[in-house]
Structure 1
Amino acid sequence: MKTIDHFRELQQRLGELSADKQVRFAIWSVFPFTRDSAILKFVDGLSHAGTSTDISSSLEALWNNLDDVEALSRLCSVVSIDWNPDEVEMEQEDASQGAVDFLSAIGCLCEGIQGDTEKLIEPGKFLINRMDYKADFSEDDEDRLIYEEMYKDELVAQNKLIDELQSKETIAAIDRHHEAIVWR
């Protein structure tokens, strides 16, 4: 299945879920970014130490309580972090691109929670695109193959999550941290 077809199908299937389950899909799609140490270090360097920890704790709080206004406010405030990607040193380009994807995914999550539910698929797209980017730009063949496999696995995992969200009344059993993704 081509990625564009995957996203079309995913958008349709997401639309069949309740709004709170759509939000959980988006949160689930952002969690893997919180385990990429290069992105987190870059984001903390742009703002203040601990920003990445605030993001993680805000995602966790929102997963557990979608009505947590403080967690939503903290999370949405990081979207305003700004930098000029053209001024990033070569060795930080990957982290910079990852931070763009990460903060964009958070921005779409925030917009979705605030009512624009069509934005709730976007974090999943940013995650897939991040994996594709890592595969395309990995200089090491082993890393490239790992990211290509992660990419394929993620396409399946997104559909599996929607199946789980459709079939379960409770979200307690869902691996919300998306632990299968391990960045290199």
Structure 2
Amino acid sequence: MSFFSKLFGGDKEAEKTALDLFKGLFGENAKKDDKPEDKPEETAQEDNTSAPADTGADTVSSGPSGDSWGDDMPAEDNQYRHEGAFWLYFEGIFDIEFAEYRYEKQVLTPFKRIVYTFYSGETKVLAVELMSERCSAYKFRNDCKKAGLAYTRFYIDHSGWWNTRSYVVRRMKEALN
């Protein structure tokens, strides 16, 4: 019985997710002296069905800032250049770019689904969902729509999506307007 099997009580999906995260954080390609462009490609997707297919490329694109999808990792700051957990990358953006808002974090499924609720004073103004492509994408979004709460989501593990800083900021500002 493996460590993760004991930890997650035999939940195979949770074990696989934890093992993937562990390998990503502590695998041989995650050494401190690695350059970001030397790391294996990890990808994420936003809500768009026309995402390009993953080719396994790990080169840096010279494309314009704000391009958050494609085969090549953009030169711009993105989720996969960040050293640390994916949620810390997003929280860093929230803290700097949306400092006028207070937010609360709710972990719905560890390593797969986190919801941030943003407040202006005491009023809820935005829900941001960070989620795996394997999670249900509709229930929470529909609940927000019914409640009149602005909503956006970012996939954290979909091939071809990088979640560049400018893309995250742009999507959140669009949702707030």
Between Structure 1 and Structure 2, the one with more strand by share is: 2
TM over 0.5: no
Of structures 1 and 2, the one with the larger relative CO (CA 8 A, separation 6+) is: 1
Could you state the TM-score of these two structures normalised by the residue count of structure 2?
A: 0.30
Larger Rg: 2
Between Structure 1 and Structure 2, the one with more helix by share is: 1
